[in-house]
Amino acid sequence: MTKVLVAEDSPINRELLRELLEARGYEVFEACNGQEALELSTQIEPDVLLLDIGMPVLDGFATVRKLRESNSPPGLPVLAVTAYAMRGDRENILNSGFDGYISKPIEANTLFKQIDQLLSKSR
């Protein structure tokens, strides 16, 4: 079963993502901030990480930087799921170590398309 780690500080957004992902057959793990995501990623070794940018404790940029520096788990695809949708945000995010980007509000088909692309590249 494909394991997806969702790092999102909003309980409502975590619930929405969990419901969408579980309905598609993914095993979902949740973190409330970037630090929790780092700890969980080494424990559960997810197949993909959905990472919010604006979180307390450790934001998405710092989290993806630490993941890439440690390479643990190796080659983990990271999808930014964010409200950052201004001109240049997508490019900035992708240049910061993320493998993909989708903006909020989440559109299920876009989410699944991005996850499928990331998983096919990593396998």
Best CA proximity match to 99, nearest among 52, 64, 58: 64
Q: Could you count the other beta carbons within 10 Å of the beta carbon of residue 5?
A: 24
Q: Could you count the other beta carbons within 10 Å of the beta carbon of residue 32?
A: 18
Higher pLDDT, 86 or 117: 117
pLDDT band at 71 (very low <50, low <70, confident <90, very high): confident
Q: What percent of the residues of the chain are helix, what percent strand, and what percent coil, each to the nearest 5?
A: 45, 20, 35
| Structural domains in the chain (count) | 1
Q: Domain span at residue 69?
A: 3-122
Q: Is the pLDDT of residue 6 over 80?
A: yes
Write down the pLDDT at residue 62: 97
3-class SS at 55? coil
pLDDT band at 33 (very low <50, low <70, confident <90, very high): very high
Task: Residue 69: give its domain's CATH number.
Answer: 3.40.50.2300
For the chain, the residue count is 123
d(CA 65, CA 71): 10
- Average pLDDT (90-111) is 93
Which of 5-14, 36-45, 58-67, 85-94 is predicted with the least confidence, judged by mean pLDDT?
85-94
Structure token pair of residue 123: 């396998």
3-class SS at 100? strand
pTM to 2 decimal places: 0.94
